[in-house]
Structure 1
Amino acid sequence: MRLLFNMQKTLRKLWIGDLGALRAHLKRLDPEARRLRFGGVTTDHFIDAYVDTAFRLDATIFAVFIDGEIRGSAELRSIFGGASPDAEAAFAVEKDWQDQGLGSELMDRILTSAQNRGIARLHMICLSENARMRHIAGKFGARLTFAEGEVTGEMTPAQPTPLSLLDELVHDAQGFVTAVFDWRR
């Protein structure tokens, strides 16, 4: 495990210019982290196809950058497409960066995003042995249901407020400016 001391950490929304960084992050996941994130064995080819469709499927993706590299990511994606009141949250944190609160920081950003989009039910679906995901879900008040090797956590985000909308707007604006500088490097 690496420690975050003396490292530059940024949490921001991803934009289309970040696809390469997201692809590299997901490919750095060890086989167990890939299995837990995607629910089965995945190949680099699968990750390439997944990332290629990430922004076309109306996903909102956040990432934690440490010293310019994505080390943790989270997605908010409508389950049924369109203006569905149901969405799913999914997370991936590279092994060396786990147990440092990155998943919780990402979950907080996902909850604000779900709140501001009027999501009525936020689902977190994982394999039953994914203790970290179950911990994050429980920490944020999700109701956990166990069935056939999977766990579903369900949460009801609050209604949007002027403060939650402003919070997201400010984070998005700061994140976009940061992204532009990152892309120029």
Structure 2
Amino acid sequence: MQLNQAEGTQVVLRDGSTVLIRQVRGTDAPLLADGFARLSPRSRQLRFLGPKTTLSATELRYFTEIDHHDHEAIGALSAADGRGVGIARYVRDARDPQAAEIAVTIVDDWQERGLGTELLSRLSDLARQAGIHRFTALVSTDNAASAGLLRNLGASLVAQGPSIVEYELALEPDDYGLDRWIRCAMA
């Protein structure tokens, strides 16, 4: 399948595979549902912090019909077949408009290629443009990959419960902020 370069940015991942990264649209509900169906039960558990077998029509609308300011999401499509392979989003904190909670989900057979780092880097750029200065992330205590990525990017552990930890990640534009850590992690 040929992807339209004008609709996003083509990115070559560290394993040589190519994706098109673009903002999520209201018409992307079928892509999101397909990607969700391709997640293992464990990946769903880690992403939703509990068992999850389906996405309702209401959830699909929430995840795709977004304002691109207080709720932003970018997705990655496989250049080979056009299927959704990853998504990163933030939702601005209503109590603290300079903070937003993030979530990154990569379908199982696309994990460990650098896609999550790439999506998070692009999402941080959009967040800064929207006036967001820090991300927060809730992570399952048994999600070593996400916790490791966040720690490698300079996130601080701010709260810990029996099954969930919370991280905070500054979006400073200087050389000591997220951009520097993402460049180092990608290298």
Fold shared, TM-score > 0.5 on shorter chain? yes
Aligned residues: 155
How far residue 71 of structure 1 moved from its aligned partner, in angstroms, is: 0.8
Mapped to 1, the partners of 2:98 and 2:146 lie a distance apart of 22
SS in 1 for 2:58: helix
- Structure 2 residue 174 is the aligned partner of structure 1 residue 157: no
- Structure 2 residue 35 is the aligned partner of structure 1 residue 25: yes
Mapped to 2, the partners of 1:95 and 1:140 lie a distance apart of 22
Structure 1, residues 55-114: CA drift from partner, whole Å, max 9, x if none? Answer: 257521111111211111111111327x72221110111111111111100110121111
Identity %: 25
**1:105-116 correspondence to structure 2 within 5 Å:** 105-116=118-129
* Residue aligning to 2:75: 63
- Structure 2 residue 47 is the aligned partner of structure 1 residue 37: yes
Q: Does the CA contact (< 8 Å) of 1:142 and 1:154 recur in 2?
A: yes
Which structure is richer in relative contact order (CA contacts within 8 A, separation 6 or more)? 1
Mapped to 2, the partners of 1:80 and 1:102 lie a distance apart of 29
Flag structure 1 segments of 5+ consecutive residues without an equivalent: 161-185
Evaluate the alpha carbon distance shift between residue 117 and residue 79 of structure 1 in structure 2; reply closer, same or farther with a 3 A threshold: same
Evaluate the alpha carbon distance shift between residue 111 and residue 64 of structure 1 in structure 2; reply closer, same or farther with a 3 A threshold: same
How far residue 11 of structure 1 moved from its aligned partner, in angstroms, is: 1.6
* Residue aligning to 2:62: 53
Give the 4+ runs in structure 1 shifted more than 3 A: none
Mapped to 1, the partners of 2:152 and 2:34 lie a distance apart of 29
How far residue 141 of structure 1 moved from its aligned partner, in angstroms, is: 1.1
Flag structure 2 segments of 5+ consecutive residues without an equivalent: 1-13, 175-187
SS in 1 for 2:86: strand
* Residue aligning to 1:140: 153
Q: CA RMSD in A?
A: 2.3
How far residue 8 of structure 1 moved from its aligned partner, in angstroms, is: 3.6
SS in 2 for 1:119: coil
- TM-score scaled by length of structure 1: 0.75
